[in-house]
Amino acid sequence: MINQKKHFWPPSDPAVVRTELINNTKKGGSTLRTIVVSLVLLSLLIMVGIIGKVIIDGNDQTQWGYVAAILAFILSATGGAPMVAIAPLIAKASWARPISRIAHIIGSVSIVNIIIMIPILRMLPPLIVDGTRRRSIWFEAPNYSPHFWDTLGLIMLAITGMALLYSSSIPDFAVMRDSSDGIRKKIGKILSRGFIGTTVQWSKLRMRIGILSTLYFFVLVFVHFIISVDLSMSMVPGWKDAIYPMYHTMSGIQGGVASVIILSWIVRKYGKNQNYITINQFWALGRIMFATSLMWIYFFYSAFIVFWYGRSESDAAWLDLLIRGPMMYVFIIAMLCSFIIPWWWLIWNRVRNSFNGPFIGAIIVLIGLLLDRIRLYVPSWSVNPKLIHDKWLTEIPKILYPDIWDVMIFIGSISLVFLIIIGLSRILPLIGVWEIHQLNLLSKPGKFMKAHGIRVAKPD
């Protein structure tokens, strides 16, 4: 082992890896039970919040901005997570193997988005308002195209995310089938679908994971594109911003990386997985989060300078609505948390090369992401619906504070996300057994003259 202080490496014996990781799915005591019960109760708040909001706020579209912001936040914080596993897969990098299951599990909770989308469908205005077609990316499409395609997009994302998780778990289901008993053995037998690890099965599995990963990426970009335009940009007259969908996607990937860091930190610390999730993962994730923070500011600034320098009426209205108007303080904090603090924090190699540094950075990024989504969605929904056909926004809405129902929906959504993750961790090991086997095959820690390092194999 290298650098005993900080560096660990998974056990080289496959039997030990199998036993340790499969046993993790069985662990849990009264603390876990208490957490699960609390999460179940808190998850119910999502339904209470939605029902309460429907009853109290009725048909007032301007009151639903926070719900849209919560949807965008959950989509961004979870949807981008599988990219942490997908990008290294394409680049044939082995470092992500111990955390790729975590990334896939976070990506498969998209069902929460669909639940929040249900009340939004009711409030989202159709394309033809007061007999006139409003500006949208749907041009001459049928009246309820945004409703249909946005929902379909979220469903597609959920299905692809789950398919990706399932495909990448098949070898582990086979391990469960062969080395567990009781219900786990039964689940393993059904879900492994006769996987015994022949060359053909491995080759097909790799191909399937590759295809699903590519598909997931395209669906993710598509969903960010339609959700960002339909649920915010097209609600504001005169807001025309071609980079916005890409900004939304990029900040979503930043949020996804942050979520993976947080969950990896928890799994490592409280799941006693110090030998599996090592400093290599945190160092690489820290670098990715640093890079995505820079991309965040670049995409933001690309829009900002054009509006700021253009100074047309619609440009000025954009600045008033989203930057210097009612959301000015939210914007400043979002900017601090999404870019300035992560930038100055993660720029230091010592911070990136630690367990707590990227973890703290990830929490700050997620706070920034939430505030950024509030900054974008709340004012967009607060715009007076009667102004929708104007050439540009002439009346900036006042700041809207969240009500109790918004808070309940937020707490319920987050709780549901954690509940699903804990539920999945009872069936599947949070660290892929086969991924660790492959990691051990493809990379080995070692020394070269006086330097410590890893010898990495990259098969074609």
Binding site for another protein (CB under 8 A): 2-3, 7, 90-91, 135-137, 139, 221, 240-246, 280, 283, 294, 298-299, 302-303, 305-307, 309-312, 315, 349, 353, 441-442, 446, 448, 451-460
Give the span between the Cα atoms of 183 and 352, in whole angstroms: 41
Provide, rounded to whole angstroms, the least separation between the CB of residue 455 and another protein. 5
Q: How far is CA 330 from CA 12, 177, 248, 324, 367, in A?
A: 49, 51, 17, 10, 11
Provide, rounded to whole angstroms, the least separation between the CB of residue 301 and another protein. 8
Provide, rounded to whole angstroms, the least separation between the CB of residue 136 and another protein. 8
129's enclosing H/E stretch is strand 128-129
User: Which CB atom, from 7 or from 189, has the smaller least distance to another protein?
Assistant: 7
Provide, rounded to whole angstroms, the least separation between the CB of residue 222 and another protein. 10
Q: Pull the structure tokens for residue 408.
A: 């309940």
User: Which CB atom, from 166 or from 392, has the smaller least distance to another protein?
Assistant: 392
Quickly count: other Cβ atoms within 10 Å of residue 284's Cβ: 18
User: Which CB atom, from 64 or from 299, has the smaller least distance to another protein?
Assistant: 299
Provide, rounded to whole angstroms, the least separation between the CB of residue 367 and another protein. 25
- The answer to whether 394 and 387 have CB atoms below 8 angstroms apart is yes
69's enclosing H/E stretch is helix 65-79
Provide, rounded to whole angstroms, the least separation between the CB of residue 5 and another protein. 11
Residues in the chain: 460
Which of 418, 416, 410, 415 is CA-nearest to residue 71? 410
User: Which CB atom, from 195 or from 307, has the smaller least distance to another protein?
Assistant: 307
User: Which CB atom, from 49 or from 286, has the smaller least distance to another protein?
Assistant: 286
User: Which CB atom, from 66 or from 247, has the smaller least distance to another protein?
Assistant: 247
Tokens 């942490």, residue located: 84
> Using alpha carbons only, how large is the chain's radius of gyration in Å?
23
Provide, rounded to whole angstroms, the least separation between the CB of residue 359 and another protein. 17
User: Which CB atom, from 194 or from 446, has the smaller least distance to another protein?
Assistant: 446
Provide, rounded to whole angstroms, the least separation between the CB of residue 246 and another protein. 7
User: Which CB atom, from 57 or from 241, has the smaller least distance to another protein?
Assistant: 241
- The answer to whether 290 and 365 have CB atoms below 8 angstroms apart is no
- The answer to whether 434 and 361 have CB atoms below 8 angstroms apart is no
* φ and ψ at residue 324, rounded to 5 degrees: -105, 5
* DSSP for residue 397: P
Helix (H, G, I), strand (E, B) or coil at 347: coil
